Amino acid sequence: MADPECSICGRRACYLRRYSGQRFCAEHFVEYFEAKVKRTMLRYRMLARGERIGVAVSGGKDSLTLLSILSTLAPKLKLELQAILIDEGIAGYRAETVERARRFCSELGVPLLELSFREHTGLSLDEMVELSRRNACTFCGVFRRRLLNAAARKLGCDKLATGHNLDDEVQAILMNYLRGDVERLLRLGVSTVSKKLVPRIKPLMEMPEKEVALYALLSGIPASFEECPYAGDSFRTDVRDCINRLEEKNPGIKFSILRGYQKLLPFLESHEAGALRRCATCGEPSSGERCKACLLIEELSRSASR
């Protein structure tokens, strides 16, 4: 059997995009990837000239790829980039990824603001998990979102860019379907529901995780490929495995899930429960009377005093 060839130039292929049947060599894959991310940003009108963009970075492949692509666009669009890193406090995992993020930001000349769970809640994620029976992902998701939004708002960012890829998006959609959580399902696809929430953009939302990883490897982005030690326990992991099994047999199903959700969104928007109010304790946006972050902090301090 002959070596698989690039559909564009005939050189040896390094990637088969199974959902379209196209094969790419390294050079044409990088070209395709960058063009598609730019197309996605245009299609959803993610960026406007002269904006200040907060970029959530972790040191992983998604966020560093995002930062790299945005930094190539910044001079032309007169964008001002500000990287924001949240150190959750995960022993044996986070220190190395933080160092990678610092080095890459400094290489690109992007200022970096570092915040930590410990500094803002009094506890690291490891300590939260020890105190509670809850899954680490519950704390991580709630506090990370909270700190990122507050930092982007204080820094005067017009948008907050995150490295969520197609797999992340599709997992979140299915998780909310499976839990019957219509409010979260709605919030996932709406960029601004409150003046206190900095509008979020996800430029990699149409790029499969495997393509992001391949781009990072081929472009020499110094990203970490380590898996979060808490990832194995989560509901998200079960949903991810299930979607990947489906995608292997039915290439393109991840895009079908995303497109189906986008078609449903206009119907969901008429759902009144999607509106956010202010948390009675901290004043941050909340779907209930008090926000999830305040409820979790209270729960943790009860556990700590026992």
- Sole residue written with tokens 């979260």: 184
Alpha-carbon distance 180 to 173, whole Å? 10
120 binds other proteins (CB under 8 A): no
Q: Which of 196, 209, 221, 173 is nearest to 285 (CA)?
A: 196
Tokens at 81, concatenated = 């980039």
Give least dist CB 61 to other proteins, A: 6
14 binds other proteins (CB under 8 A): yes
| Residue from 209, 279, 285, 293 binding other proteins (CB under 8 A) | 209
Tokens at 270, concatenated = 């008429």
Residue 236's Cβ-count burial label (10 Å; 0-12, 13-18, 19+) is: middle
| Residue from 54, 89, 203, 208 binding other proteins (CB under 8 A) | 208
23 binds other proteins (CB under 8 A): yes
285 binds other proteins (CB under 8 A): no
| Residue from 28, 100, 240, 292 binding other proteins (CB under 8 A) | 240
Q: Which is nearer to other proteins, 233 or 298 (CB)?
A: 233
Pairing of the two strands 80-87 and 52-57: parallel
| Residue from 96, 119, 227, 269 binding other proteins (CB under 8 A) | 227
Give least dist CB 246 to other proteins, A: 10
247 binds other proteins (CB under 8 A): yes
Alpha-carbon distance 276 to 279, whole Å? 9
92 binds other proteins (CB under 8 A): no
User: What residues contact 134, with CB distance under 8 A and at least 6 apart?
Assistant: 128, 296
Inter-residue contact 294 to 301 (CB < 8 Å): no
Alpha-carbon distance 260 to 249, whole Å? 19
User: What residues contact 225, with CB distance under 8 A and at least 6 apart?
Assistant: 60, 61, 213
| Residue from 47, 57, 60, 286 binding other proteins (CB under 8 A) | 60
96 binds other proteins (CB under 8 A): no
- Choices 179-187, 194-202, 230-238, 272-280 (CB under 8 A): range interacting with other proteins: 230-238
- Choices 70-78, 199-207, 237-245, 263-271 (CB under 8 A): range interacting with other proteins: 237-245
What is the DSSP secondary structure assignment for residue 112, as one 8-state letter?
Answer: E
Question: Computed from CA positions of residues 287, 291, 293, 298, in that sequence, does the dihedral angle turn out positive or negative?
Answer: negative
Residues at the interface with other proteins (CB under 8 A)? 1, 3-4, 12-16, 23, 26, 60-62, 137, 140, 208-210, 212-214, 217-218, 224-228, 230-232, 234, 236-237, 240-241, 244-245, 247-248
